Amino acid sequence: MRGPHNIWRLIRTGATFERTGAMSVALEAMEAPPRLRLAARVLGWPFKWLGYRGDPALPPVTRALTALGPAYIKFGQVLSTRPDVVGTELANQLRVLQDKLPPFPRKVAIATLEEELGHPMADLFTEFGEPVAAASIAQVHRARTAAEGKDVAVKVLRPGIERAFRRDIDAFHFAAKLIETLSPASRRLRPTDVIDHFEGVVMGELDLRLESAAASEFAKNTEGDAGFAVPVPLWDLSSRRVMTLGWAEGIALGDVPALKAAGHDLNALAERVLQLFLSHALRDGFFHADMHQGNLKVSASGDIIAYDFGIMGHIDEYTRRVYAEILIGFIRRDYRRVAEVHFEAGYVPADRDIDEFARALRAVGEPIFGMDASRISMARLLSYLFEVTERFGMQTRTELILLQRTMVVVEGVARSLDPNMNIWQSARPVVERYIKENIGPRALIRDLVRTAQVLGRFGPRLPQIAEQMLTRQTEREVPAPRGRLGERLALLAAGGLIAVLAFALERWF
């Protein structure tokens, strides 16, 4: 219940933010109204001594969230994907928030496994080691299956984590409502929407069947990608609180000295990780939205292995085409076309001046292309682009924000492997291939076939639709305007023709 019982938790939260110095940093980053900042300081200062101290070595906000526990850590991670809410600088700080927490006992994990999977441990695994990683929601053990003797990674939710998260989310909702009530000006920050978004993400992660499904879909989409591997889930050893995947053996992508010592080509790895991300985003519209070094390994054969599928991004086909056209426009420095794409997609209001917008885009692109290869940044360009589009009235699009945030992370990973990498040169073949396959004549024919097939499904219903329309028209006892009736009959005729065309095209193709 979102009531007064949450007040103590919020006091402790405010006190921790005040004690760690995170209060002023967070409110400033979110451009909170002055009245709200003053109220937060006045209310927080008397209770400062109640706050957790945290780790002084961490930045203020990261320090506060880590001290407050798992729900707050996860909240910080989710906010790191929303620079539109917390600002770019704070989002970058939150992105490095470490999820390293004390593990819970191995025997508790075993009890959870037996309860969830309905069998004694000996029937499930012949080996089950101590935790190799402990995060805010779950921890991971290395094990060996009893049936096939296969090495696997077993992810087990923390005991009581669902209840703990629901309690804290309850307090977050209470705080959001309180903020909106006390400061109407704060509503532009959409605190309630932010908490709703967080609740949706977390509730999804608390059901490991959904992460297993994401891993399965991602593995299926990428099974033909050379030099890339995704551990496949074992469904018979997975449930709501347990997920079992094939074990990913390799060197962490962030361990550059070890990669060099193993003889891996760092430049090739850098290019591959960037091209793989763009390929997944553009080709599939389903991409790993947390592709930092901690979630990537390199196998002995040189394959990049991805794991941890708690945060995945999805963009529809139309948005992918728009994104690709924007990227290729910048790559070719065709700013007029980039401007046209924004207007055609409805991202920028039609009453704005397209030539002025094109000039603003040129001001974004040209300085970046004037840099040497080591400083050319696609992530920086996208960040500048969002600033310009916001100035021209573009509404925030969450899917593009997540895409841009992931692009920043992926570019950072690539730069850590090859500091002199030319991001645009590496991206160009992927984007041009997508453009060729999805925006050229071949794509037009494919779209027409799909459209005809969809409309053709209404073919058997055309007589019924025509009869209903004519009956309604007669019941009104008002003569239908000849032009309108003619238009309707023309549409019906066109529908019939489309049905025939659909049948022919389907047979042809």
DSSP letter for each residue of 312-364: EEE--HHHHHHHHHHHHHHHTT-HHHHHHHHHHTTSS-TTS-HHHHHHHHHHH
Task: Answer yes or no: do 201 and 212 share one domain.
Answer: no
What pLDDT does 500 receive?
42
- The residues near 390 (Cβ < 8 Å, ≥ 6 apart) are 396
Beta bridge partners of 156: 139, 242
What pLDDT does 455 receive?
63
The end-to-end CA distance of the chain, in Å, is 58
Evaluate whether 281 touches 268 at the Cβ level (below 8 Å): no
185 has a pLDDT exceeding 60: no
Within 10 A of 70 (CB to CB), how many other CB atoms are there? 20
For residue 177, what pLDDT band results from cuts at 50, 70 and 90? confident
Task: Answer yes or no: do 323 and 380 share one domain.
Answer: yes
Contacts within 8 Å (CB) and 24+ apart, 427-430: 427/274, 427/275, 427/278, 427/327, 427/331, 427/378, 428/331, 429/275, 430/275, 430/278, 430/279, 430/282
What pLDDT does 435 receive?
83
Task: Answer yes or no: do 272 and 144 share one domain.
Answer: no
Evaluate whether 100 touches 94 at the Cβ level (below 8 Å): no
Residue with the larger pLDDT of the pair 156 and 41: 156
Host domain of residue 450: 443-508
16 has a pLDDT exceeding 90: no
Evaluate whether 243 touches 211 at the Cβ level (below 8 Å): yes
Q: How far is CA 193 from CA 12, 85, 398, 426, in A?
A: 23, 11, 12, 37
Q: Which residues of 122-134 are buried (b: 16+ CB within 10 A; e: fewer)?
A: eebbeebeebebe
Task: Answer yes or no: do 219 and 152 share one domain.
Answer: yes
Task: Answer yes or no: do 350 and 365 share one domain.
Answer: yes
What pLDDT does 5 receive?
64
Task: Answer yes or no: do 401 and 476 share one domain.
Answer: no
213 has a pLDDT exceeding 80: yes
The domain boundary, picked from 439, 470, 492, lies at 439
Task: Answer yes or no: do 219 and 72 share one domain.
Answer: no
Task: Answer yes or no: do 425 and 389 share one domain.
Answer: yes
Helix (H) or strand (E) holding 296: strand 296-298
Q: Using alpha carbons, select from 243, 223, 225, 226 the residue that is nearest to residue 234.
A: 243
Task: Answer yes or no: do 241 and 252 share one domain.
Answer: no
Token output for 58: 């961490």
What pLDDT does 494 receive?
46
Task: Answer yes or no: do 140 and 225 share one domain.
Answer: yes
For residue 383, what pLDDT band results from cuts at 50, 70 and 90? low
SS (H, E, C) 171-212: HHHHHHHHHHHHCHHHHHHCHHHHHHHHHHHHHHHCCHHHHH
Lowest mean pLDDT among 113-117, 275-279, 372-376: 372-376
- Angstrom distance (rounded) from CA 241 to CA 243: 7
Mean pLDDT, rounded, for 485-499:
47
Q: Which residues of 172-194 are buried (b: 16+ CB within 10 A; e: fewer)?
A: bbbbbeebbeebeebeebbbeeb
Q: What are phi and psi of 176, to 5 degrees?
A: -60, -45
Beta bridge partners of 127: 144
Mean pLDDT, rounded, for 426-441:
81
Task: Answer yes or no: do 334 and 472 share one domain.
Answer: no
CATH number at residue 139: 3.30.200.20
What pLDDT does 279 receive?
93
Task: Answer yes or no: do 240 and 367 share one domain.
Answer: no
The domain boundary, picked from 439, 457, 479, lies at 439
For residue 372, what pLDDT band results from cuts at 50, 70 and 90? low
The domain boundary, picked from 439, 460, 489, lies at 439
- Residues that are catalytic: 290
What pLDDT does 133 receive?
86
If one counts the domains in the chain, the total is: 4
Q: Decide: helix, strand or coil at residue 448.
A: helix
